[in-house]
Amino acid sequence: METVSTNMAFGGVQHVCRHAARSTGTDMTLSVYVPPHAPGARLPVVWYLSGLTCTHANVTEKGEYRRACAELGLIFVAPDTSPRGTEVPDDDAYDFGQGAGFYVDATVAPFDRHFRMWSYVTEELPELVAAHFPADMARQGIMGHSMGGHGALTIGLCHPERFRAISAFAPIVAPSQVPWGEKALSGYLGPDRAAWRRHDAVALIEDGARVDALKVDQGSGDAFLAEQLRPELLERACADAGIALSLGIRQGYDHSYYFISTFMADHLRWHAGRLNG
C-alpha cells in the first residue's frame, strides 16, 4: 500500500493511502485517521461511506471528525465511492457511474467488471486496514451519508455480527422506491426487483434482517428529503420489526457537510459507547 500523505492532527495521524484493489481491478484511495494511542493498543474502527459525487476527500476535509476520534480512541476509515479511471465505465449523469457506486456488486455489463464496491468494503478493505493499522476488528461500527448512508445501513443489516454500531446522515433508506435508487439498482443489478432487496434497508428489515438499534439524523431543510430519502419508511419498518431507531429531524439543516459536521461528534460518541461497552 502506498502512502499518499500523512498529517498530524489532535495527536494522531491522518493517512491518505492508495492501493491496487483486487475487487475493482483499479487503484483505490482511502483515508484513515489513527488517534493517539499506547504502543501495542488495538483500537475500534468506524467505517464512513460517502455519498454521490464524493471521494474519500470530502469527509476528510469537511467532516470534522478528528477531534472526537482522538478523544474517543476511534480509527476512522473513509474509502472512495466507486472505482475510477479511464478504463472504468462512466455516465454523464452525476448519480450513476464513477462517483456513484451505490455499494453494490454490479452484475450488468459493462459495470460488472469494476463496480464491486460491496466486496471492496465488506471483504478487501477490512483485510487491508487490519494488516496496516492498529485496528481491533472485533469492534467495528459503520456510518455514512446519503448514498453512503444507504450503504452503511444495508451492509450493517447484512452483517449484524460484525457491526456493533450502525448510523447514517440523511440516508437513502428505500432505494427501490425512489428515483436515485431505481436508476442505480436497475443499471447495476438489472430489472429483477427481487435482486434489489438485499441492497434496500427497508426491504431487508421487511425480509427479517435485525439489529437492536440504528441512529439516523436528517435535516428538515434537505432538498432531497421528500423525493429521495423518505426516512418515514425506515421509521415504519423499524417500528414493525421492534428495532430501536433514534431518528433526529434537525430543523433547518440541509444535505451538506455543514449538517454532517454539526452532528458528527454526536454519532461518534454513540459509536464509541457501543464499541467500548
User: Of 145, 255, 267, 271, which residue is the catalytic one?
Assistant: 255
Give residue-wise pLDDT tens across range 239-272.
999 999 999 999 999 999 999 999 999 999 999 9
Q: What is the pLDDT of residues 144-185, one digit of tens each?
A: 999 999 999 999 999 999 999 999 999 999 999 999 999 999
Q: Among the options 95, 222, 267, 271, which is catalytic?
A: 222
Give the position of cell 476512522.
Answer: 76
The sign of the torsion formed by the CA atoms of 68, 160, 56, 218 equals negative
Domain at 57, CATH number: 3.40.50.1820
Q: Which helix (H) or strand (E) holds 37?
A: none
Closest CA to 145 of 66, 219, 91: 219
222 catalytic, yes or no?
yes
The active-site residue out of 146, 167, 217, 271 is: 146
Are the CB atoms for 205 and 238 separated by under 8 Å?
yes
The pLDDT tens digits of the residues spanning 51-63 come to 999 999 999 999 9
Compute the distance between CA of residue 118 and CA of residue 112 in angstroms, rounded to an integer: 12
Q: Is 255 a catalytic residue?
A: yes
Q: How many domains does the chain have?
A: 1
* CA atoms within a 13 Å half-sphere pointing along the CA-CB vector of 59: 31
246 is catalytic: no
CB-CB neighbours of 2 under 10 Å: 10
Range of 10's domain?
Answer: 2-275
